[in-house]
Amino acid sequence: MASKGRTKASRKDSVIFKVEQMKWLSKDYYIYGTSIPEKIRCHGCRCVSNTIYPLENECQGHGLCKDCKKNDFTCHNHGGHVTAEALRNAVGQTNNAAKKLEIRCLFCESIKGFLNIKDHMYEEHPRLVAAALKRFQKTKYEQEKPASTQEKHRTSPLTWREDHFSQNADVTVESEDDEAAACEHCKEEWDARELGEHEKACPQKKVQCRDCDEWIKQEQLLNHKKSCQFGKCNFCNEKMGKEEMTTHEDICEEKKIPCCYHTYGCNEEDKRKNIRYHEEYDSHALFFLPKIQELQERIRQLEPPIKAIMKRLQPSK
C-alpha cells in the first residue's frame, strides 16, 4: 500500500520515467485516481519527465520532454504544431504537475515523491547513479554512432582500392570520436559528448563545504553537513561555531531589521548598522500623531464616567 492515502494505479500501465539523463520503465507509481493525468506526461511520447518544456500554442497547459522538443511536433488532439527550431531556446521547468506523484526508487525499495527522487538517488546511491548514467549514455551512443568504416566499404564503388590501401598502410589513423574521455575525478571513461554532465554530478568530485571551507568528495557532503561543527552567518558570511549562530544573528550588523517604530506605521527596513541613523535622525512625529489623537479621544470618553464615580465616592455632608 502506498503512503499518505495514495493508491497504486489500478490499471498498472507501464510508464517511462525520465530523470535528467536516466530513463526507465516502471509500474511502481502511486497517485490519486487510476492513472497518471495527461498534464503530468510529455505531450509527445507520454513519458513522465522531471523537466518539462511548456507549449504556448493550442496545447497550452501541456509540455514536451527534452527528447521530444528536439523534433517538430504536431498534436493530433488539439491541432497544435510547433517546430524544433521554435523550441530550441525553450527553458525547461520543473514538472510541478507531478508533485503528487510518488514512485519507487530505481535502486532501492524507497517510495519518494517524483520531484524528490533525483535528490534521493544522488544522495543515497551516488555510485549507482554514476554507473547508470554511464550505461544509459553508452546505449545512446551506440544508437547514434555513424556507420563503421567497414560498413561504408561494403557500399562504396572503391571498396577494393580502399581495403587494399588499408591492409598495406603503415599507420592507421583512428577517429577521435572513437576515443573515450576519462572523468578527471573518478577516472571512468565516458562518451566525450556526455563527459561534462557527468563531471558535474560525479560522486568523486571534490566540493567545498560552505560552512567550514573543507574540500570533500561530493558523495560525502550530506554526511559531512550533519557533523560539521562550523557555520556561516547568512547575513555577514562570518565563519563561526554552530552554537554561536543563534546569538550572533541578534547582533549581526549586516542583518536587515525593521525600524523600531514599525508598530506605529514606519515601514523602513535596513541593515542593523544603518537603521540606527534612520531611527535617530528621521522624523517619526507624523506616525505618533494618530496615536496621540486616539488616546485623547479615549480620555475624553472616559472623563464623564470617572467624574460620576468620583462624585459617588465623595462623603455626603
pLDDT in tens, 44-98: 899 999 989 888 877 888 889 988 988 888 887 777 788 888 888 788 888 888 8
Q: Which fold has domain 16-135?
A: Herpes Virus-1 (3.30.40)
DSSP for 71-98 reads S-EE-TTT--EE-HHHHTTPPPEE-GGG
Residue 162 CA: distances (Å) to CA of 3, 145, 166, 178: 65, 22, 6, 20
Mean pLDDT, rounded, for 97-117: 88
Distance (Å, rounded) from C-alpha 14 to C-alpha 25? Answer: 6
Give the pLDDT band (50/70/90) at residue 141: low
| Predicted pLDDT at 160 | 34
Residue ranges covered by each domain of the chain: 16-135, 229-312
pLDDT in tens, 183-233: 888 888 888 778 888 888 888 888 888 888 888 888 888 888 888 888 888
Nearest alpha-carbon partner for 27 in 44, 45, 9, 43: 9
Torsion sign across C-alpha atoms 295, 296, 297, 298: positive
DSSP for 161-199 reads HHHHHHHH-S--PPPGGGSPEE-TTT--EE-TTTHHHHH
- Cell numbers describing residue 60: 497550452
Number of H helices, E strands in the chain: 10, 20
